Structure 1
């Protein structure tokens, strides 16, 4: 009888472990992959495809499901832009030539960026997956901001989160990382620094807030015209 009970307990423990692994793997995939019920891809050839859309961040690949159920995948080099919607909000992504954050390399390749604002200087964003220790303090300082749509914890050791990284697309077609938005943008303002600081102060804008960054960059474009 005792052996039977022990065997049942062991089987139960293995089942729990198995379900935990399935849950972790599923959530890990969800962190790395974004899906939308509605999407529209404009190709460099001029063709347009519409349907449910999946964006694979790590591979920088976008997949669109056609009405007939077929799935087509495209790299940034083949895409002019893609727009997605969840029924409430829409987002637009465009490919830009980028050195993948390697400031010491002249090699650039197209990569997808979310378009937050458009103009002479455009505020754009990428997202990456980071893993941090659950016992450490909040990691909000420095380059990027964090949010946790599908974060998971394994035995209290770590959590996987999405890190937002902000960039400027410049008039000369360069991508500049805003590693410290306040410092980097104030360096850009130059002779317009006094006017920009007055605008930011009057509107109580925060360099660490994505929406406020859109307003800051948009106003800079306006006064530079």
Structure 2
């Protein structure tokens, strides 16, 4: 065997270069971090918030409030140890909470809305901006698919999404398509000014508080 080369399979294996090992380890770590982040996520509607509820009968309740926009139900706890009371949107005029997840007050109104079944029912809407154009929102959880730069496979993630609505002076509520062009069409002669405002401030129609700023600017053009 002297002078012959040993087959490659019998040669001692060298450890993989550090860079090569990292390219295999990093994607796994990122997936684990993403998974743990999702598991640790607390949605605003899962939490109790300091707030108040104004009932349709006129009573005002102050204390801890938990909301569920999917079921249009509120839970109220006025004091420690007190029994939790639930109210449907039909019993509520308005409620307000301080949401620590976004560090701001949020206001919701129970408004008549056409359901998918074809009849009107009281539904909770969050008020984002009021004036010449009134912007409302509802939230829900949806699975969204995202491409992973470290893998050939796309991943699915549960995210909080918002649907937006406009209410006219007569109380009619219509869902917004989500298209920026459609929004500008609604703004008529002020469309160019609003579009410039959006570009200058790098605002996005699909970002909740960006959208509210856009509508607030449009309303300011009418002094509202």
Does the pair score TM above 0.5? yes
Of 54, 70, 88, the residue aligned with 2:83 is 70
| 8 Å contact from structure 1 (residues 92, 115) kept in 2 | yes
Q: Deviations over 1:154-191 (max 9, x none)?
A: xx985432221122222221222222241221121112
Summarize the alignment of residues 138-149 of structure 1 with structure 2, pairs less than 5 Å apart. Answer: none
- Structure of greater relative contact order (alpha carbons < 8 Å, 6+ residues apart): 1
Q: Deviations over 1:188-207 (max 9, x none)?
A: 11122223223333333322
How large is the Cα RMSD of the aligned pairs? 2.9
SS at match of 1:208: coil
1:53 is aligned to 65
| Higher Rg of the two aligned structures | 2
In structure 2, do the counterparts of structure 1 residues 189 and 35 end up closer, same or farther at CA, with 3 Å as the change threshold? same
Of 14, 31, 47, the residue aligned with 1:35 is 47
TM-score (norm 2): 0.67
Summarize the alignment of residues 147-158 of structure 1 with structure 2, pairs less than 5 Å apart. Answer: 158=156
Of 32, 56, 59, the residue aligned with 1:44 is 56
Summarize the alignment of residues 63-212 of structure 1 with structure 2, pairs less than 5 Å apart. Answer: 63-67=75-79, 69-86=82-99, 88-100=103-115, 102=116, 107-132=119-144, 136-137=146-147, 158-212=156-210
User: Number of residues paired by the alignment?
Assistant: 177
| 8 Å contact from structure 1 (residues 32, 58) kept in 2 | no
TM-score (norm 1): 0.67
> Structure 1 CA distance, aligned partners of 2:208 and 2:161?
13
| 8 Å contact from structure 1 (residues 31, 129) kept in 2 | no
2:9 is aligned to none
In structure 2, do the counterparts of structure 1 residues 65 and 111 end up closer, same or farther at CA, with 3 Å as the change threshold? same
> Structure 2 CA distance, aligned partners of 1:80 and 1:110?
10
| 8 Å contact from structure 2 (residues 112, 123) kept in 1 | yes
Q: CA deviation at 1:35?
A: 2.0
